[in-house]
Amino acid sequence: MTRALVLFAHPCPESFSAALHRAVVEALRGRGWEVDDCDLNAEGFSPVLTAEERRGYHDVAANTRPVLPYVERLRAAEALVLVFPVWNFGFPAILKGFFDRVFLPGVSFRLEAGRVRPNLTQIRRLAAVTTYGGTRLRAMLAGDPPRRIVTRAVWHVTRPERLRYLALYDMNRATDARREAFLGRVRAEMAAL
């Protein structure tokens, strides 16, 4: 049985992101996967990297101590699915803080002769499900940082067999029909992940 860690980053349970989150979890469970459903806001995850954590950043015992339950959940995952909206051309602060505080040396990567080596290679499937307020062109003109981080940086430390980046652009003008079609696409992609 595949174990998936679903990281959800949106504070409002009535949001479209929450509907996407529910669709992801239901589709993965429908496949018979074990789902560790991590709603960062509901769990009260603190995104702030403290001065003490930064000072201990390169000491694996010290850097993992403050976030050990999340490190253990990440290490146990064989699939990682991120569900988040894009705000101001980036991740919600809580998800960026998760990367800062949990994707640590000795956890997501290791340094060998000054080079970053992947350390989460047990994660064989990686997916992101997201929405953008603006158009794809607008995101591209801004460099589309969330897509680049998922498809380059997170990909690099996991080296998955399968990667999916599912984005609904121009959410500010999306009709009910477009949102429903995207929900259907997300369900289908999760069923095939």
pLDDT value at residue 145: 97
Nearest of 30, 10, 11 to residue 130 by alpha carbon:
10
What kind and span of H or E run contains 82?
A: strand 79-86
- Looking at residue 153, its amino acid is A
Nearest of 114, 123, 193, 113 to residue 157 by alpha carbon:
123
pLDDT value at residue 163: 98
Domains plus CATH for the chain?
A: 3-192 (3.40.50.360)
Query: What would the mean pLDDT of 4-24 be, rounded to a whole number?
Result: 98
Rounded distance, CA 13 to CA 137, Å? 29
Give the long-range contacts of residues 151-157, CB within 8 A, separation 24 or more.
154/80, 154/82, 154/103, 154/126, 155/126, 156/109, 156/116, 156/118, 157/103, 157/108, 157/109, 157/116, 157/118, 157/119, 157/120
What kind and span of H or E run contains 76?
A: helix 68-76
- pLDDT tens per residue across span 103-138: 999 999 998 998 999 999 999 999 999 999 999 999
Rounded distance, CA 30 to CA 152, Å? 29
Encoding tokens for residue 16? 């479209």
pLDDT value at residue 25: 98
Burial class for 78, CB neighbours closer than 10 Å (0-12, 13-18, 19+): middle
- pLDDT tens per residue across span 134-166: 999 999 999 999 999 999 999 999 999 999 999
Rounded distance, CA 153 to CA 109, Å? 10
The pTM score is: 0.97
DSSP 122-190: T--EEEEEEEESS-HHHHHHTT-HHHHIIIIIIHHHH--SEEEEEEE--GGG--HHHHHHHHHHHHHHH
pLDDT value at residue 171: 95
